[in-house]
Amino acid sequence: MNLKEVIMSSGIENCTVSIPMQPIRKNIYKYMAIKDKFIRVPCKFSEERYELQNNYKITLVPINEEFNKEHMYIADIEALIRENQAFLYIKNKRFNFMESL
């Protein structure tokens, strides 16, 4: 079972992913990401730009407003989960992605 199938079977509204992201900081000219600091942040999945069923990209919307939303390849999110750098949660339970492969 891949990430797309897990999210579609559980419902996109029931899934979150905790993933390393860089916080934004206000600058005189624009908002910038801090280049040297990654923090694991819980994010909701959103289909505002890409549809999950296409298995291409998905938008991650951080719960914490100090982070920007990101558009990521689904395969990259799967790789981060397999490497234990990101964690998928379904209805507040951690999903063991490796057991489902």
pLDDT for the residue numbered 91:
83
Q: DSSP state, 4?
A: H
The predicted model scores a pTM of 0.81
Burial class (CB in 10 A: 0-12, 13-18, 19+), 88: buried
pLDDT for the residue numbered 37:
79
Along the 101 residues of the chain, how does pLDDT read in single tens digits? 699 999 999 999 999 999 999 887 666 555 555 565 789 999 999 999 999 999 999 999 999 988 899 999 999 999 999 999 999 999 867 666 555 43
Asked if 57 and 40 touch (Cβ cutoff 8 Å), the reply is no
Domain interval for residue 13: 3-100
CA 100/CA 90 separation, integer angstroms: 14
Tokens of 53: 């069923």
Structural domains of the chain, count? 1
Tokens of 52: 């999950």
